[in-house]
Amino acid sequence: MTVVKQKEKEQQRDTGVVQLFRDTRAELKKVVWPTREETVRLTILVLFVSALVGVFLFGADSIFLWLYTLLVSLV
């Protein structure tokens, strides 16, 4: 490969990477970001639901453990 062709390839690759960053930046400008209040509200909701699911799983696990222990003691 000649030096000229190699430089042309490098320039094409550089413009491809540069174009990628330009396109990414343009797309990020189109994003409608949530407000701070909305972010806080949704974060609290996620934490609450996660805690609720954790309590439910703990209760179900405790019940199944109790049933398992009961069945094993009968044998």
Residue 74 sits in the same domain as residue 45: yes
The count of structural domains within the chain is 2
Q: Which domain holds residue 5?
A: 1-31
Q: Tell me, what DSSP letter sits at residue 20?
A: H
Indicate if 9 and 40 belong to the same structural domain: no
Average pLDDT of each block of 10 consecutive residues along the chain (75 residues)?
68 76 94 97 99 99 98 92
Q: How far is CA 44 from the centre of its chain?
A: 17
**Do residues 39 and 70 both lie within one domain?**
yes
DSSP 35: P
- Whether this prediction's pTM lies above 0.95 is answered by no
